[in-house]
Amino acid sequence: MLKIYNNLTNKKEIFIPIEPGKIRMYVCGITVYDYCHIGHSRAYIVFDMVARFLRHLGYDVTYIRNITDIDDKIIQRANENGEDFHQLTTRFIKAMHEDFDQLNILMPDLEPKATDHIPAILTMIETLIDKGFAYQAENGDVYFAVNEFNKYGELSGKRVEDLRAGERVDVDTNKRDPMDFVLWKMAKENEPFWESNYGKGRPGWHIECSAMSTEMLGNHFDIHGGGQDLQFPHHENEIAQSECCTGEKFVNYWMHNGFVRVNEEKMSKSLGNFFTIRDVLKEYRAEEIRFFILSSHYRSQINYSDEQLDQARSGLERLYAALLDVEFGDVPKDTEYQQRFELAMNDDFNTAEAIAVLFDLTRDVNRAKAENSPEVAALGSLLKYLANLLGLLELNAAEFLKSSVTDDGLSNADIDLKVEQRQQAKKDKNWAMADQIRDELTAAGIVLEDNVDGTRWRR
RNA sequence: GGCUGGUUGGCAGAGUGGUUAUGCAGCGGCCUGCAAAGCCGUGGACGGCGGUUCGAUUCCGCCAUCAGCCUCCA
């Protein structure tokens, strides 16, 4: 029985889909004006894992992850670069897909872009105005009137009174209430715009998610996810817009992943302490990043550091090493390992616990190997199968262990030759020579492992 | 100030009202020409103070402390 921690109630709840056997899930994607960083990678690895596991449970999942391709930062960056905003977003959408692909993040079923859904956005704004939940201010901008929605603050646990008292809310004289947020923003000179009843402008950030999720998943759907920083105000605003527009409950389960921190501080663009995915991929294998992310529960905060990534590397290499020489075959059914794995995952996607099960299974695989047991194939196949559910251990073990992201100047053939030379030295009992070759390779980051069949190496 | 969520062994990180997390690192052993990998064994923990309980790291309260949100942010 699947339990999900629901931010609407701040409790773990038994998951019940709206329509039996089907799950409709929407996750807020990125604003494409720069390369994705490790914080982004966490959010999308996490929800990729969620979608994979829900499908494993047999659900027919419709997973939507949008792209915000118009907003202030995009316009600003495009201006700085002296290029059309569309050119900018196209470039970074491509980069995002490349990065995500490396991290084995599967494509969502639909990946709508805000600019492709302006009509749906305008329709929703019109409905909100008609129903009295939104108004056009003197400057032409259209705002949502927070005051008209009495459930405002339900998701984030905030009270409108407290928010109003806050000193950090900008006082904008165009708004009736400082908490009101923009739905349609008038275009300034030389800014991209779309025609509307309210004038030439562009959508506010929050409305696109409401419009696109409702358009594609219906008024009421199962799961909505995103980073913890989106809980307020973004998701709060989505609820307000959608429920006021449709008169129905918007989402049943809200999920938010925790942040990635750097030196005990949130990784973010404004702090400038972010590491882009492509930079990290110069030092670590993509799967090491994925393993690092999934080693902790998705709601906890994690700290990014080389030490963490090094530990992830060691752990992942242990798992892959167990798969060496395994002849994969049928995956045994109804094993205790799978039960434990699923129990962990059913408990609010506890990947840390699930990975611990993989390590227990790994010991069993290694033990079977040491004993030359016929169980090796079955246990190894099970390990690969369970790990694959998390998007891990999909590569060939030998190739993975020989792969490297850093250039040590040695080709595989170079190494093979050295290893061969050392084999001869060993045969001649020339231990000094054998050790010298091994030391050379060790210095280059190559690890040698002798066994009865010969010598295996990895980077 | 309001609201969230944390505080577990050298590091990372799960979990539990009384019993082994798991990984990395350490120590001892097996294996090995020596190693490495692997296997076997092993030490080491639950922020502080109260309370509930036969018994609390686990439940409750208070305190301390950290991070986050309240402004764009995954």
- Domain A17-266 top-level CATH class: alpha beta
Tokens coding A241: 């817009």
What's the rounded Cα separation, in Å, for the pair A190 and A389? 48
- Res A405: pLDDT: 82
Residue A155 amino acid letter: L
What's the rounded Cα separation, in Å, for the pair A357 and A295? 12
**Type and span of the H or E element at A377:** helix A376-389
- Res A172: pLDDT: 63
Q: What is the dihedral of CA A172, A175, A180, A185, to 10 degrees?
A: -90
Which residue spans within A53-192 are E strands per DSSP? 60-65, 134-136, 142-144, 181-186
Which residues contact residue A64 at a Cβ distance below 8 angstroms, ignoring those fewer than 6 apart? A25, A26, A27, A108, A109, A110, A111, A112, A212, A213, A216, A217
Q: Judge whether residue A16 has pLDDT over 90.
A: yes
User: In the 3-class helix/strand/coil scheme, how is A186-253 assigned residue by residue?
Assistant: ECCCCCCCECCCCCCEEECHHHHHHHHHHHHHCCCEEEEEEEHHHHHHHHHHHHHHHHHHHCCCCEEE
CB-side neighbour CA atoms (13 Å) of A241: 32
A101-150 pLDDT tens trace = 999 999 999 999 999 999 999 999 999 999 999 999 999 999 999 999 99
Q: Judge whether residue A408 has pLDDT over 80.
A: no
Which residues contact residue A67 at a Cβ distance below 8 angstroms, ignoring those fewer than 6 apart? A29, A30, A32, A89, A93, A96, A111, A112, A113, A114
The angle formed by the CA atoms of residues A222, A228 and A229, to the nearest 5 degrees, is 120
**Type and span of the H or E element at A39:** helix A38-56
Å from A1 (CA) to B50 (C1')?
38
What's the rounded Cα separation, in Å, for the pair A444 and A80? 43
Nearest residue to nucleotide B5 when comparing alpha carbons to its C1'?
A300
Q: Which nucleotide is nearest to A295 (CA to C1')?
A: B13
Å from A305 (CA) to B5 (C1')?
22
Which residues contact residue A448 at a Cβ distance below 8 angstroms, ignoring those fewer than 6 apart? A419, A422, A438, A441, A442, A455, A456, A457
Q: Which nucleotide is nearest to A36 (CA to C1')?
A: B74
Q: Which nucleotide is nearest to A313 (CA to C1')?
A: B24
Q: Which nucleotide is nearest to A348 (CA to C1')?
A: B14
What's the rounded Cα separation, in Å, for the pair A120 and A210? 10
Secondary structure of residue A436 in the 3-state scheme: helix
Spatial CA neighbour of A386 closest among A344, A324, A348: A344
Residue A296 amino acid letter: S
- Chain B footprint positions (protein CB, under 7 Å): 1-6, 11-15, 21-25, 32-40, 66-74
In chain A, where are the structural domains located?
17-266, 307-402, 412-458
Q: What are phi and psi of A353, to 5 degrees?
A: -70, -40
Task: Tell the burial category of A294 from Cβ atoms under 10 Å away from its Cβ (0-12, 13-18, 19+).
Answer: buried
Q: Judge whether residue A277 has pLDDT over 80.
A: yes
A31-89 pLDDT tens trace = 999 999 999 999 999 999 999 999 999 999 999 999 999 999 999 999 999 999 999 99
- Res A171: pLDDT: 59
Å from A121 (CA) to B67 (C1')?
36
CB-side neighbour CA atoms (13 Å) of A428: 11
Å from A264 (CA) to B67 (C1')?
7
Å from A345 (CA) to B54 (C1')?
36
CATH code: domain A307-402 is 1.20.120.640
Å from A448 (CA) to B25 (C1')?
21
Q: Judge whether residue A199 has pLDDT over 90.
A: yes
- Res A162: pLDDT: 79
Secondary structure of residue A254 in the 3-state scheme: strand
What's the rounded Cα separation, in Å, for the pair A184 and A429? 80
**Does the reported pTM lie above 0.80?**
yes
Q: Which nucleotide is nearest to A163 (CA to C1')?
A: B70
Average pLDDT, chain A: 94
Å from A313 (CA) to B26 (C1')?
20
